A and B are shown apart, each in its own frame.
Chain A
Amino acid sequence: MEFLTSAADMMKFLIPGLGVTISVTAIALAIGCVFGAAMAVLRVYGGPVARTIALVYSILIRAVPVIVIIFILFFVISEVIDLTPFMSGAFALGFASGAYQTEIFRGAILSIPSGQMRAARGIGMSRFQAIRCIILPQAFRVAIPSLINEISLVLKDSSLVFVIGVPELLRRAQYASASTMEPLLAFGCAALFYMAMTLTLSKALEAVEKKFAVNF
């Protein structure tokens, strides 16, 4: 293996890991969004059984460290299907993020004035239609700042899937650290990459916030 001495070399080595990190994060967020929105709707509009299921999911998952959830789901999934660590990890991250997104969406839905639902029913929409066409689109906009925060959190938590062997940024850094005996360089560069990502995220999303500014 080449003797990587310069930071530039190190960065080049880490870049594939960057790609994996971003993919895992993106997939996890999408999964989390689906879980979160669905569970939030169940919590706000569901009958007693639906509400309890959603509540239990939300409380249980948020009480347990993400890494434990990753472990449990990894081992459970591997008993049932043959998924790559990448997919397994992305799903576990998404499943966990879903619980936090449930609370985000729930808060957003509850902040929509009750008159909106009344007006939607008033023109003859069914409850389902009203939720889908009137409540959720508005709730999503209200939720954007918190969702931005959640993106940043999931990005950082993506480093945890390295324990199940996903070749993301941290794992690559660890590999580099072990083979070059330069842990500071390796992990330091990884840290710089993360910082670059979170900073880009917050700038890009500040712009998005401005565009979709909630001016109700």
Chain B
Amino acid sequence: MKNPLLRIENLCKSFGEADVIKGVSFEVYPSEVIVVIGSSGTGKSTMLQCLNLLHRPSSGKIFLEDTEITAPGMNEDHVRRQMGMVFQEFNLFNHLNVLGNVTVGMTRVLKIPAAQAKEQAMAELSRVGLADHADKYPAQLSGGQKQRVGIARALGMNPKVMLFDEPTSALDPELTGEVLAVMQQLAADGMTMVIVSHEMGFAREVADRVIFMENGYIEEQGTPDQVFNTPKSDRTRAFLSVINRMEGV
């Protein structure tokens, strides 16, 4: 078994009095696709944003390859360059066009020369199917298009792992398909991905491992088959039955 790309040991996060994450540990192997599911407010998004240190963990350790990124004195910006994040609300840079959104990180952070950056950016935009929209501004795009630009922007930094924070939750139902298709292709290309999502169908199809979080803990984890069809915990069962009812299964 190869070494894990990401190792999370006993991650805890509190905001003031509230303990949001109460001791989460798991590993992510190269090219693995992990989908984190659970009801709202169970700390899934917070946990994901701890992985790239947008939130500073209250305690616990996170290792990227063999480096402990939670060690004091660690250059956080440097860490974040190696992980790509895609947000629920897209957060595209409004004053830059599509091409600009993808290249700004390359030129400003990675110091790649402009011509080369443009080339790489257009490649990423083609990958997500938006090469024709390079000159458009975020305000002119649909939700699904915006999110795909967000994915291209993260990919442009050449990350080791991609983190998706409920990427389709803010989209109208007809638009989720185009984003999920891109994500599926990414997985097929071998990208390591940690995805927080409500899209159970996607999880069943694409995930290598599913993690069910409840109340700040990992309640259960396993292959999609294990978690969806033969859940070990009652809580998992309860959650899945609600979801199944909602999806009309």
Contacts and interface: CB of A to CB of B under 8 A. Distances in A.
A121 B90 CA distance: 14
A190 to B, nearest CB: 40
Interface in A114-145: 115-116, 118-126, 129, 133-134, 137-138, 141
Nearest to B105: A123
Nearest to B102: A123
Contact of A124 (B78, B87, B91, B137): B78
B93 A124 contact: no
Interface of A: 113, 115-116, 118-126, 129, 133-134, 137-138, 141, 215-216
Contacts of A113: 89, 91
Given A116-B94, A216-B94, A124 B105 contact: yes
Contacts of B81: 123-124
Interface string B130-159: 000000011100000000001001101100
Interface of B: 52, 54, 77-82, 84-85, 87, 89-95, 104-105, 108-109, 137-139, 150, 153-154, 156-157
A122 B92 contact: no
Contacts of A118: 54, 87, 91
Contacts of B156: 123
A129 to B, nearest CB: 6
A118 B84 CA distance: 12
B80 A124 contact: yes
Contacts of A125: 77, 105, 108-109
A126 B87 contact: no
Nearest to B138: A216
A119 B89 CA distance: 10
A115 B104 CA distance: 16
Given A119-B93, A216-B94, 17 more contacts: A115-B90, A116-B91, A116-B94, A119-B150, A121-B77, A121-B80, A122-B54, A122-B80, A122-B84, A122-B87, A123-B84, A123-B85, A125-B77, A125-B105, A125-B108, A125-B109, A215-B139
A121 B105 CA distance: 10
Nearest to A216: B94
A52 to B, nearest CB: 25
Q: Which of A118, A123, A125, A141 gathers most chain B CB within 10 Å?
A: A123
Nearest to A124: B81
By Cβ-Cβ distance, the 8 closest A-B pairs, closest first, are: A124-B81, A119-B91, A115-B91, A123-B105, A122-B85, A124-B80, A216-B94, A126-B77
